[in-house]
Amino acid sequence: MKSVAPHRSQRGIVLIASLLLLVVVTLIAVTMFRSFGIEERIAGNLREKHRALNAAESAQQFAEWWLTSGNNVNLVGNCAPPALIANNNQGQVCSNTLPTVVVDETAVPWLVNGAEIGTIYTPPAMTVAAAAAANTYYAAPRYYIGLLGPSASGQGNVYQITAWGYGGTTDTVAVVESTYLVDSGVKDLGGL
């Protein structure tokens, strides 16, 4: 006759170990997916930051070109609202610099008595829409040109150009500033 071993009771250690392993793997997966979402938002924010900076720099470069072109570059005096539109051949050089007009240059839009100042410039390939949409900018960039005075050589003038631009929303904005010398030896080579 064969003897049968007595039935041993199982203690469930395998079940408990596999449940603990499942919890650990689930926590790792949730953490990974969460970090991917954060990294995606960081990448999106960086993209918008660069778009805002490029918009501000395009307005700044247009203002520099406009100064060297000599077309309708008039000293206005104390600039006041409303904002001008560079795409309609409007522009001005102000005898007052931007810090003397607004309290904070980084707070945009620049307002005086509730109205915008400066010059609006929309680059040719820019799509502007107040509602957030793919590849659009919240608003066209703006710039402000202030006369700092004659150059050290006395052959030209020194200007302060401050420009700002939005990315896709009001949360992404960049402000840039340059000091620009227009000397009598500066020539506009844009027509070549």
| 118-150 confidence digits (pLDDT tens) | 999 999 888 887 665 667 899 999 999 999 988
Q: Average pLDDT in the 62-91 region?
A: 82
- Given this model, what pLDDT does residue 10 score? 61
pLDDT above 90 covers what percent of the chain?
A: 31
Residue 56 domain flag? yes
Under the banding of pLDDT at 50, 70 and 90, the label for residue 192 is very low
Residue 46 lies in a domain: yes
pLDDT at residue 63, as a whole number: 93
In this structure, of 9-18, 53-62, 101-110, 173-182, the range with the lowest mean pLDDT score is 9-18
Residue type, 157: N
Tell me, yes or no, whether 49 lies in a domain.
Answer: yes
User: Does a structural domain hold residue 1?
Assistant: no
State the distance between the two ends of the chain, measured CA to CA, in whole angstroms: 110
154 part of a folded domain: yes
| Structural domain total, the chain | 1
Flag whether 114 is in a domain.
yes
So what's the pLDDT on residue 74? 66
| Domain encompassing residue 109 | 13-183
- Over residues 52-67, the mean pLDDT reads 94
Q: pLDDT band at residue 7, thresholds of 50, 70 and 90?
A: low
**pLDDT for 131:** 62
